[in-house]
Structure 1
Amino acid sequence: MNMNNKIYANVTASNLRTTTGALQSGAEQGDGFRRYRLAAVCLGLLGLVLLGVAAFLCIKYRTERDQVLDRYTGLHEDLLANYSSCEKQKVQLETNYSSLVKERDQLSSLRSMLEAKVTQLEKQFQEFNCRIFQSATEDTWNMSRKYCREKGGDLVMIKSKEKQTVLNEMRLNGWIGLSDESVEGKWTWVDTTTANQTFWDEGQPDNWGSVDEDCAVFHSKDDDPPLTWHDHKCSSKHLAICEKSAFQ
């Protein structure tokens, strides 16, 4: 091989290596570019995803914030309404309490008056040497008298204005021990004595309805002197006004 052929061979080999290296370098650059572009696309997509997530979280936060604010506003309004209602109830309770205190004081005063009145009446009945009591249920005149006798007494006899007045002040209503069953028109007490002093109400006794009303009933009223006696059928039912000795 001559010198020219050697030089040509060297140049050809050198060019081939250069071309191959250039091709390899270009391929590597192309691969790197594609990787960079893929990375850029991925980063862009990731950015979009993050932006979407951020937007979603922002919207969710605002929605939840608005809901919390709405609940807070509702609770605040409810609390204000409840507070106002409690204040009104407090005022009403204070008013009711004041009314109850006044009523209690009035009842206490009334109780004291009644106790004093009872004491006075007891003293008055001690002067009559008797105690007055009344049945709890209504019955006929005969059964009412039986009740009184079983309790150690009898139906009450009223032979003075003083006793009539005291019984009326006690606001009693019921059978008394007076009848004209034995002789029509002759009113006698249960001890068989004749009723000389009487306290018949106006128009009484009247045998109303043309029936025998042979037994006397006491109806308390505001009269002075109190005229409280009425004649009734002995079979009608009333409470019994009983009396017995103060020493029994």
Structure 2
Amino acid sequence: MKMIFYVEDPENSAVYENVSTARSNPASKKHQGEQRTAAPASTGVKVYKVISVIVGIICILLVVYIVVQHLGLNDNGSTRDTLKNLTEERDDLKRTLLVVEAANKNLTGQRDELMQRMNDFDSQRRSLTEERDSMKALLMNLKVELGWVLFKCSTYYVSSEKKTWQASRDDCRQRGADLIIINSEEEQSFANQFKVYMWIGLTDLQTEGTWRWVDGTPLSTSYWGTNEPNGARGENCGDIKSFNAKNSWNDEKCANSLNWICEKKVCQ
């Protein structure tokens, strides 16, 4: 019998040992099968996680989009309300402006009217001042003229001598006056207080029966005595013949001689 001897290599022996162990150990084979099966399962879990992350991101983006849209809608509504309020305020301001312009126009008119009144008052004041100064000067002159009496806006002179009606009037004219023209009951009473029969500036020489004052104005209010004027014997000139203030006038012959009363206007 021939015998063969083998020299055992340590590395190869280990391989052989492992191979033989694997062949001889069924449990090891089962474990290796489980490892091969576990590899595909691990890959599926990773894909699921990726999908979950993507879906989560999409959900987050969707929520963000919804929130942004909601805020945008609210912002648009707020903008519309603001625009509406501003429009209403603008319209109110326009109406207020119209009212202010109308009031300003009215005030301008009132101002112009007041200025015109002030100008008128100033003109009247100057006129009255001039008239006052003129009256003062006249009164100073009248103080020198003996026999003149001031009553309202006229001064009066009663003669101490007697003349015809025309001569009496001429004397008054020389004094810058004329025979008295009686325009009121007050002036009539004033003339009667002298208790003198005297000529007045009344005549119907131009037209018989139509009595006029020396300035040409027709007689309107009269103070004739009873049954006067009677027009007897060419009595065409008027005089004061009694001292009843309401019934003192008489028609007299113009050629007769009487005292007379002159009147000079000193104001209007």
TM-score, length of structure 1 as denominator length: 0.49
Higher relative contact order (CA 8 A, sep 6+): 1
Higher radius of gyration, 1 or 2: 2
TM-score, length of structure 2 as denominator length: 0.46
